[in-house]
Amino acid sequence: MNQPSSQVRVRFAPSPTGYLHVGGARTALFDWLFARKRNGTFILRIEDTDVERSSEDMTRGILEAMTWLGLHWDEGPYYQSKRLDFYRETAQRLVKEGHAYQDEGAIRFRVPEGKVTYDDAVFGEITVETDTIENFVLLRSDSNPTYHLSVVVDDIDMRISHVIRGADHISNTPKQILLYRALGASLPVFAHLPLILGPDKTRLSKRHGATSVMAYQDEGIVPEALRNFLALLGWAPGTDQELFNDEELIHAFSLQGISKANAVFNQDKLAWFNAQYLSRLEHEKLVRYLKPEFIKAGLWRDSLEKEESAWFKSLIDLLRPRARVLQDFPRQSCLFLDPNIEYDPAAVEKFLKDPKIKEHLQALASRLESLPEFTLQSTEAAVRGFADELGIKAGALINASRVALTGQSVAPGIFDVMTLMGREKTVARLRI
């Protein structure tokens, strides 16, 4: 089981019969982490022998999702559909050596008597009596290989040292071990990952929300957050740490930390992780993620991206603490970047209904217009000083100003808003 790190070779082998879902993504992540931890090789193999259900669109979708998630492979992608002759030759070899036989145009494996015992790196020793295993098909009557044949042939040929995959494959493993033995090959280490369940403890499915990885990109989740979240689904570092960068994850990861118990997918926890990363990502990386969202919202201008755009950095930093998804940034940026402002009727009714307050805002606008400098400190002093002169609570003036400037009763700090909005726009909006 303890192989030299130079020989560690793992594979992620999705079937392109659907898009990459979170279960597959977590398997890919664990394979990737294990390979990086052991200075090994991470291989991507597309298991596309199911001609009717596989599609190029799904294959492209898987590659796109893997790339977006940051799980870059070292070898591949290999395509099983291009290796069919290899599987057919192996099936014929097994027939010739007495391990398989022809059956109505198909080729079946002849299951020997005895038992299959293997040590799973997660679930421990597993034993299966072979009299519970039927003589299973290797090559169908149309000469296409079954999963058992193609996966074993490829894992042997690609020198896979560790097979890390979902626990739903535990029942397949004894059949595959029999094939390894028949082909005279040494066994890899098997590590089966617990299932991912929805909050109702049933198998994760669309009824629990998005399950496709790219759907999370569309929802404004950043890949760093999804990676971190997925890593802790069925694996624990042995400490209370929850936020990990890639280096920390690689350093902490081990097969021993994988739980036998099924993991529960918690959307609220993913949202928490995303909010944490949005508040921490370096500005340049965050802007790369934000640019498409600002373009969609019709708010992008090239000047925002320039290094000298300290204004845009200040805006992003102002919005970070309140953002849970990427779309929150353009949504909250409208009041700065869109000349048109939409007023919440409830906020107007609550804070701008009194004719006197409108008079106060007009006068405040003149005060702010004549300030020697327009800063966070000077605007706050002007507003609070004017409230004192009027004999009213500063909060009343601040709340009214917030609605006048943003259209909403809830917004970032009003003095941050004023300084980012600038003197001209602030004064114009207060003169409603």
pLDDT at position 307, please?
A: 62
The pLDDT-based confidence of 309 (bands split at 50, 70, 90) is: confident
What are the two backbone dihedrals, phi and then psi, of residue 272, each rounded to the nearest 5 degrees?
-65, -45
Q: What is the pLDDT of residues 292-302, one digit of tens each?
A: 999 999 999 88
Q: Report residue 1's pLDDT band, with 50, 70 and 90 as the boundaries.
A: very low
Asked if the peptide bond before residue 355 counts as cis, ω within 30 degrees of 0, the response is no
pLDDT at 432: 77
Token digits for 117? 């015992």
Give the span between the Cα atoms of 56 and 222, in whole angstroms: 26
User: Quick one: pLDDT at residue 204?
Assistant: 79
Which pair of tokens denotes residue 264?
Answer: 């529960």
Q: Which domains does the chain show, CATH number per domain?
A: 5-80+195-267 (3.40.50.620), 83-193 (3.40.50.620), 281-337 (1.10.8.70), 345-430 (1.10.10.350)
Task: Note the residue count of the chain.
Answer: 432
Check if 206 is active-site: yes
Judge contact between 100 and 109, C-beta under 8 A.
Answer: yes
Separation between Cα atoms, residue 193 and residue 255, nearest integer Å: 9
Distance of alpha carbon 35 from alpha carbon 74, whole angstroms: 10
Determine the pLDDT at residue 130.
96
Tokens of 421: 């909005």
pLDDT digits (tens, 9 = 90+) for 339-388: 888 899 999 999 988 889 999 999 999 999 999 999 999 999 999 999 99
Residue 244 above 80 pLDDT?
A: yes
Q: Is the pLDDT of residue 405 over 50?
A: yes
State the pLDDT confidence band at 3, using cuts at 50, 70 and 90: very low
Q: Return the CA Rg of the chain.
A: 30
Dihedral pair phi/psi, residue 418, rounded to 5°: -60, -50
DSSP conformational letter for 205: -
pLDDT tier at 2, thresholds 50, 70, 90: very low
Pairing of strands 9-12, 41-46: parallel
> pLDDT band for position 304 (50/70/90)?
confident
Region 37-47: mean pLDDT is 97
Give me the percent of the chain exceeding a pLDDT of 70: 97
Environment class of residue 190 by beta-carbon count within 10 Å: exposed (0-12), middle (13-18) or buried (19+)? buried
Would you say residue 4 has pLDDT above 50? no
Catalytic residue among 82, 115, 206, 296: 206
CA separation, residue 319 to residues 136, 195, 399 (Å): 59, 37, 19
Q: Kindly report, residue by residue over 204-243, the tens digit of the pLDDT.
A: 776 766 678 999 999 999 999 999 999 999 999 999 999 9
Beta carbons of 157 and 82 less than 8 angstroms apart: no
Q: What is the mean pLDDT of the chain?
A: 93
